[in-house]
């Protein structure tokens, strides 16, 4: 293999692939990045057997071929070179790199040992094209409620499914739940995408990305972001029937300015660190305000208040971090916050014309 490429193109592609390559594995080859010519392009690819990332960049190919090299070393080395043309040449399974006054030889491994990259049959797949901003918002609104508990793998991803003609995303960790309606669909879909995969897709989005193309088959999902493709295994299993957890009505319904609610929640959270983030929210219909009370036994206590429209008096105890994270992903100036007594889940919604998102938090026992 012998070719020339631009430093900035190669550096960006290596950086993306390098995040997937894993040195902590029983297969050392998975810590390497695959470089392989394809016509007048260079393929840069990496996989950890759960996720594979591929990208093609333009190249002046003198001699076709392939090689795999340690991901961390080549990524950091190329990123530190000046923005000039880089010559790559394989000699006896070693990669010779030359750019201006810089020369290096990196010991490689033949590409034959690299795992076969996964593919998806486009003709038999379910296909969506989602605008970048909508995609990013939907992921940020749902990914915060996924679980880290590996003993319940179906909760460690976001559930993409069709429901009443809509493509819906949902996630829960058992303590909170989020659901976001994304777009209309005529396909029947039920797929759980790992959180790590969605985080990788978000990282790969650039300012030039207008749309994300998504393909599903029975066991995999593929994201195309400009020239980057990310293919991931889906999580095997059945997502819980979460809709039965959604309260049908709320006795206490609060409409409040989001910035006011966020401020008093953050302040209360400062005093709630010692008590597992526990804060008590009290709604007063006569005074038209809500107050949040928190206690730090060693430091003191706090009560913060904000004006709100309230249907009925009520009180509930929540985890301040969960409430803060929910408020951070709600758009619009006002939010709706409802609950039924101290032991029922509370529901947060943005007040906007889309009405496409809600967030549920389970109460703490006060």
pLDDT in tens, 34-79: 999 999 999 999 999 999 999 999 999 999 999 999 999 999 999 9
Per-residue pLDDT tens digits for 199-256: 999 999 998 999 999 999 999 999 999 999 999 999 999 999 999 888 888 999 999 9
Q: State whether residue 23 is helix, strand or coil.
A: coil
CATH assignment of 246-361?
A: 3.10.150.10
Class for the domain spanning 122-244:
alpha beta
Chain-centroid distance, C-alpha 99 = 36
Q: Please state, in angstroms and as integers, the Cα–Cα distance from residue 318 to each residue in 8, 233, 325, 355, following that order.
A: 48, 35, 12, 24
Euclidean distance between CA atoms 306 and 263, whole angstroms = 9
Provide the CB-side half-sphere exposure for 328 (13 A, CA).
13
Q: Which CATH number fits domain 2-113: 3.10.150.10, 2.60.40.10, 3.40.50.2000, 3.40.190.170?
A: 3.10.150.10
Answer whether 185's CB lies under 8 Å from 165's CB.
yes
Which among 293, 303, 304, 295 has a CA at the least distance from the CA of 260? 304
pLDDT single digits (tens) 292-343? 999 877 778 899 999 999 999 999 999 999 999 999 999 989 999 999 988 8
Average pLDDT of the chain is 94
Domain spans in the chain, listed from the N-terminal domain onward: 2-113, 122-244, 246-361
Torsion sign (Cα): 309, 314, 317, 318:
negative
Which of the four pLDDT bands, split at 50, 70 and 90, describes residue 27? confident
pLDDT band per the 50, 70, 90 thresholds, residue 352: confident
Residue 203 sits at φ, ψ, to 5 deg, of -65, -30
Same fold, 2-113 and 246-361: yes
According to DSSP, the β-strands at 220-225 and 228-233 are antiparallel
């Amino acid at each position: 293999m012998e070719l020339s490429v631009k430093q900035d193109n190669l550096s960006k592609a290596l950086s993306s692939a390098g995040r997937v390559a894993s040195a902590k594995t029983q297969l050392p080859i998975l810590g390497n990045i695959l470089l392989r010519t394809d016509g007048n392009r260079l393929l840069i690819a990496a996989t950890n057997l759960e996720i594979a990332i591929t990208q093609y960049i333009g190249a002046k190919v003198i001699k076709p071929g392939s090689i795999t090299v340690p991901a961390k070393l080549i990524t950091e080395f190329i990123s530190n070179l000046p923005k000039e043309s880089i010559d790559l040449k394989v000699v006896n399974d070693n990669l010779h790199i030359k750019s201006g006054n810089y020369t290096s030889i990196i010991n490689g491994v033949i590409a034959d040992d690299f795992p076969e990259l996964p593919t998806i049959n486009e003709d038999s797949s379910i296909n969506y094209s989602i605008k970048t901003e909508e995609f990013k918002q939907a992921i940020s609104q749902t990914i915060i409620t996924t679980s880290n508990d590996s003993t319940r793998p179906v909760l460690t991803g976001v559930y993409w499914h069709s429901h009443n003609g809509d493509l819906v995303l949902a996630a829960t960790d058992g303590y909170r739940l989020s659901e976001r309606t994304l777009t209309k669909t005529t396909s029947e879909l039920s797929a759980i995408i790992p959180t790590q995969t969605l985080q990788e897709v978000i990282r790969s989005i650039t300012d030039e990305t207008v749309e994300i193309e998504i393909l599903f088959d029975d066991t995999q999902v593929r994201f195309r972001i400009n020239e980057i493709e990310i293919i991931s295994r889906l999580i095997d299993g059945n997502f819980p029937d979460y809709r039965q957890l959604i309260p049908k009505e709320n006795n206490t319904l609060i409409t409040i300015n989001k910035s006011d609610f966020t401020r008093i929640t953050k302040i209360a959270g400062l005093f709630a660190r010692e008590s597992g983030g526990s804060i008590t929210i009290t709604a007063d219909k006569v005074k038209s305000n809500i107050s949040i009370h928190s206690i730090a036994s060693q430091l003191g206590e706090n009560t913060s208040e904000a004006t709100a429209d309230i249907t009925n008096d009520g009180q509930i105890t929540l985890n301040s971090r969960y409430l803060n994270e929910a408020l951070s992903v709600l758009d619009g100036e006002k939010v709706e916050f409802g609950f039924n007594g101290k032991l029922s889940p509370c529901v947060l919604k943005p007040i906007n014309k889309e009405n496409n998102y809600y967030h549920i938090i389970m109460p703490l026992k006060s």
